[in-house]
Chains A and B, each alone.
Chain A
Amino acid sequence: MVGVGSEAQKYVWEGAIPLQIHLHESEITTLPSPEPALILAPRIGYLPLLVPQIKPYFSDTLPPGVDTVWFDFKGMPLKWYIPTGVLFDLLCLEPERPWNLTVHFRGYPGDLLSPCEGEDSVKWSYINSLKEAAYIINGNSKNVMNMSQIDQFELWRSVLNREMEAYLRISSKLKLGIVGEDYTKIVMSPRQSNNEADSVGPSRAGRIPVRLYVRNVGEYTDDLEDVPPVDSWDRICYMNKPVEIQREEGKIFNLYDAIKMLLPEFFPDEPSIDEELSKLELEDEPGIGGSNLSDPDPDTNTMRKTELVTVKNETQLYPSHPTGKSEIKLVRIQGIEPKLDIPFSWVVTNLINPEHFLHICVCVGVSQDSSKTS
C-alpha cells in the first residue's frame, strides 16, 4: 500500500471546501468595502495556512497594526489547530457552499485560542499531534522523533501541498499502520497476515487515535437546517479518546462498535457486540436506503457491509439514550456519514487525517429535560 493510497484516501486528500471569506466590518477602513475572498480550503488543511492567499484581498483596507489573524463562523472563533474539514463538518451541519467565514486581522481572542504565528505554529501543532498519535499506536513517539531531517521536512511539505503519495511514502516509515487489521489484510495484503504485528511491537495492537467531537443539537431532530449555530466552544465537547480495537475470532470490529465504545451512554442495555454483529449479519438486507428509517429501534441498524453511503436526514440509525430522549443523530467523518457496520479498520485506514488521528464528529440530541434529570 506504500505510496499508492486507496481511492477513498485520494478523496480525503483532494477534498476541499469552497470558502467565502469576509473581512470583519470593524477592520474595513475604506469605501467601497472589499469584496469577499473566494478560495478553496483543503479538508486536511488548517485555516492559518490560507492567510497568504487571503491577505491580498484585504491588505489595502486594514487599519494600522500588526496582523494576528483569526477566523469566526457566525461569531464563534474557530480553533485553528482543528483541520478545516472537521470544523466544517462540525459547525456547518447542513453544508453551506460556499462556507461563509469572517476573517479578523486584529484583536486576537487570546483567552479562547492558542496563539498562532502562521505556518510554524501549524507545523508544530501538526507534529505534536503526530507524536501523540504515534504514542497511542506504538506506546512511544520514537519513530516520529527519530525521523531524518529530510523526511521531517518532506513530510510536512507533503501535508502542506497535499501530496498524498509523497506523504504515504514517508509516513510508512513511521510504522503507524493498524496492527492486525482484519479487513485490510483480507482485502489488500493477504500475504503479510501474521508477521506484521511483530514489526511494531507486542500487544500494542489496535489502539487507534481518535478525536471525538460531540455536539448537542437538542430537540432539533429532523431537519439539520433548523439547528441553530453554535456560539461557543463550551457547547461542544471534544476530546482525544483512543479506541482499543477488540478482536475476536470471526468478528469484525466495526464503526458501530467504536462509537459504542466512545459513547457508551447512548447504548443502554445493548446486547453484546457479538450478538449485535450476528444480528447485523442476519438482517443484512439489500433495501438499506429506505426501510424503517424512522424506527427508533436500534435493531434496525442494519446496513450492507463495506459500503460507504452518505445518509442524509436518516437519523434513526443510532440507539437512544436511557432517558429515551437522548440519541445519537449523526456520525460524520470527512464529510460523509459512513454506515456503521463498516469495519473500523477500514474507516481508520481511509479516513484518517495526516496526523494519524481519526476525527469523528457526532451530533446527539439530548433534551434539556434529560440532561437536567441527570
Chain B
Amino acid sequence: MENLSRWDGTISSTEFRIAATTLSKKWEVINPELPPWTWIESPKPFWVTSLEVEGYLSLENYSYKFSSDDADNRICVDTQAHENLVDTLCGSRSSCQKEEPVSFGNEEEPVDSATLVLNDDDKKELHYYDFHIVYSNSYRVPVLYSRGYRSDGQILTLDEIERDLPANSLKVLRESKWTFITQEEHPLLNRPWYTLHPCGTSEWMKLLFLGGYSQAKGGSSSCSVMQQYLVSWLSVVGQAVGLNVPLEMISDFHHLCTIDNVTSSNGNSVTTS
C-alpha cells in the first residue's frame, strides 16, 4: 500500500493482525475499565500441523452499563455528526429497500453492526454482548459479529436484541429485514451470530482514509495507516452498535473530518432516505 490514492480500502490478513494488535493495545490503555479486545486463535483445522492459524479479535461481556455511566466522555463525534453517520449508513439501506423491494444491493452499507447496547432507561434486565471482529478472506476487510445474552447465559432472541437497538437501527431493521441485521454463520465458530454484510466496507474505509489522510500530517506512513485501520473502522461500526470508540484513540486522524467525508460521499450515490 504505497500510494493511498490508489488503495482500494482492503487489507491483507497479515495487516489485519497488525491492526488488531494496535486496536487491542490502545483500547486497553484508554478504556481500562472496559472488557479488553483479545486476540483469539481460531480452532485449528485438524490437518494443519505448523502453519500460522487464523484468529479474530474478541470483546466479551460488554454491557450497556459501561456506556451509560459516562457516555458523554466516550462519544467521539458530536451528536449531529453521529446522527448523520447513522442516517447515512442506515438510510442507504432503507431507501434502497423502499424503492426496490427486491433489490440485491446495499452497496452503501458500510456498517457491520449487529446489536446495540445503549440506554437502559427502563431498568431492563442486564444484557451482555460479545463482539468478534473477523477478517473476511472474500472481502478482505474486517467483519463484526455479535451475540447477546442474559446474565444467566441464555442467548437473546432477535426480539430481545431489538429492544437494545437505538431507534435508528431498529427502524432500519424493520424496513430491511433481510439486509440490515441478519443471523449468519460465524465463519470460525460455525454457529449463528448476528452480522451485517461487508460488501461496502472497503469503499467507505477508502473514503475514510483518503479524507483523514489528506488532513493528517504528510509524514504518516502507510504502515501507520494500516495500524490505524481497525481503530478507524471500529469508530464507525461501533457507533452503530453502541460500542463507542473514545476520541483519544482516533485523534491522530482528524476523525470528525473523515466522518463528514463518508457521510457526504455516500450521500452522492444514495437517494435520500
Contacts and interface: CB of A to CB of B under 8 A. Distances in A.
Interface of A: 79, 81, 110-115, 120, 124, 127-128, 130-132, 135-136, 139-142, 144-147, 149, 152-153, 209, 214, 216, 233-234, 237-242, 263-266, 321-323, 326, 364, 366, 370-371, 373-374
Contacts of A323: 49
Interface string B99-131: 011111111000000000000000000000000
B103 A145 contact: yes
B138 A130 contact: no
A126 to B, nearest CB: 10
A152 B187 contact: no
Contact of A131 (B185, B191, B199): B199
Interface string B143-186: 00000000000010000000000000000000000110011110
Contacts of B184: 114, 128
B51 interface: yes
Nearest to A240: B138
Interface residues of B, number: 35
B190 A234 contact: yes
B174 to A, nearest CB: 15
Nearest to B106: A145
B203 to A, nearest CB: 8
Say whether chain B's binding surface is mostly helix, strand, loop, or mixed. Answer: loop
Given A124-B179, A374-B50, A112 B191 contact: yes
Given A139-B8, A149-B102, A153-B102, A374 B138 contact: no
A111 B104 contact: no
Contacts of B137: 239-242
A131 B104 contact: yes
Leading 6 A-B pairs by shortest Cβ distance? A145-B105, A374-B49, A124-B178, A114-B192, A141-B199, A145-B107
Nearest to B189: A234
Contacts of A147: 104-105
Say whether chain A's binding surface is mostly helix, strand, loop, or mixed. Answer: mixed
B46 A366 contact: yes
Contact of B139 (A110, A124, A132): A132
A153 B190 CA distance: 30
Nearest to B48: A265
Contacts of A240: 137-138, 187
A16 to B, nearest CB: 26
A39 B187 CA distance: 32
A152 B104 contact: yes
Contacts of A374: 44, 48-50
